[in-house]
């Protein structure tokens, strides 16, 4: 999707904030990557900070 006024790509979630729990693995990690690729600001939460660093 592109903005008509210029050619800057706009994701489906541009300007949105997403909070994901269980983000260090599995579905949570996949969702974090997907939402970020669609332009969302993603806030991650999990029990393991080491695993979160790998996602970030």
Tens of pLDDT along 17-48?
Answer: 999 999 999 999 999 999 999 999 999 999 98
**pTM, whole model, 2 decimals?**
0.74
Domain count within the chain: 1
Range of the domain at 21: 17-55
- Residue 10's pLDDT is 78
Give the separation between CA 30 and CA 35, rounded to whole angstroms: 9
Q: Is residue 29 part of a domain?
A: yes
pLDDT at residue 15 in the model = 92
Closest CA to 17 of 33, 35, 1: 35
Taking CA 53 as the corner, what is the angle to CA 48 and CA 56, rounded to the nearest 5 degrees? 125
Q: What is the pLDDT of residue 35?
A: 95
Helical residues (DSSP H) of 1-56, grouped into ranges: 26-37, 49-55
């Amino acid at each position: 999707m592109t903005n008509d006024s210029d050619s800057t790509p706009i994701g489906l979630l541009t300007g949105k904030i997403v909070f994901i729990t269980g983000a260090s693995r599995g579905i949570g990690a996949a969702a974090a990557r997907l939402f970020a690729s669609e332009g969302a600001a993603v806030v991650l939460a999990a029990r393991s900070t080491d695993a979160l660093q790998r996602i970030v």
